[in-house]
Structure formats: structure tokens, C-alpha cells
Amino acid sequence: MTISMYQASVPRLANAMRNLSNILDKAQAHVDAKKLDANVFLQYRLFPDMLNFIRQVQIASDTAKGVVARLAGAEIPAYEDTETSFAELKARIAKTIAFIESFKPEQIDGTEDKDIVTKRGDKETHYKGMQFLLGHAIPNVYFHSSIAFSILRTIGVEIGKRDYLGNP
């Protein structure tokens, strides 16, 4: 049995985004229960040269919507990156989930060998569809989600492996 590009992307990415959203709920509940400053959590970073919690969530979201759009040949929606609260980050995640779940299998299946080009500044990186999905995008979503998780866990939010994995 083979797995389709759709099955390897949309359901997995939507699940990762839902798990991240659920972790944000736990962070907000923690902040509320202990009467803490949410901004401390939102601006926290694991090390001075790393991105803060907000950027980790934004990048996970951007990567999820970007890979699905590229595979389907659709325009990637631009988000403003202006979130300053858990609620605004949750709204971004919900928007991302709605976007990626709007695609049908026939829009993504068969894109294993599709040429994908990403640009960062003047640098172009060339991929094939499966290489981009499995070798770049999915690891990137999980990386930034796990850093967001680690930030919250480091500063006391009671979350664990089950929260990160959710219900795959």
C-alpha cells in the first residue's frame, strides 16, 4: 500500500496545528490560574539567539499553509505576523487549519515530482514535491511546534508528550 501526498500532508499538518492550539489553551489556563503576565510567555525564548514563542507559532503556521499551497499550485495566503496574545495565535492557527483543509486529495496527490522553488532573500532552493514535504516542511512544522512546546514547558506550563502528539 502506498500513502498519498495528500494523506502525508493535510491530515498530519492539521493535526500538528490542532495540537499546538490545544497547548496554547493550556498555557492560557496556566497564566490565568497563576495570575501571570502572558507577555512573558509570548516573548520567551530558549536562548538569546533563538526566536521567541510567538515567532515559533507563526513559522509553524506559515510552513503548514505554505507547503500545502505549493503542492496544490495555489497562492499562499499572507498573514500579517501581528499576534500579541494566545487568543490571536489560536485564531491564526484556526485560519491555517481551515486553509489547508480546504484542499481536496486530487489537488495534492501526484505532486511527488512537482518542482518546488522557495526563495529566502536572493537564495533559491529547488525541491521535488515529496522532498519538500517530507524533508523540509513537515520537519520544520514539528521543529517549531516542539520549540514552542519546550518554551512553555520550560517556564512551568504543565504539558506533556500526549499534549504534543495529541490524537494522531
List the domains of the chain with CATH numbers.
5-165 (1.20.120.450)
pLDDT tens sequence for the chain (168 residues):
688 999 999 999 999 999 999 999 999 999 999 999 999 999 999 999 999 999 999 999 999 999 999 999 999 999 999 999 999 999 999 999 999 999 999 999 999 999 999 998 999 999 999 999 999 999 999 999 999 999 999 999 999 999 999 876
Provide the pLDDT for residue 71: 98
Provide the pLDDT for residue 1: 61
Q: How far apart are CA 51 and CA 37, in angstroms?
A: 19
Provide the pLDDT for residue 167: 78
Provide the pLDDT for residue 3: 84
Provide the pLDDT for residue 28: 98
3-state secondary structure of 76: coil
Cell numbers that stand for 21 in this block: 492550539
Q: What is the DSSP letter of 13?
A: H
Q: Look up cell 501526498; give the residue.
A: 5
Cell numbers that stand for 115 in this block: 518542482
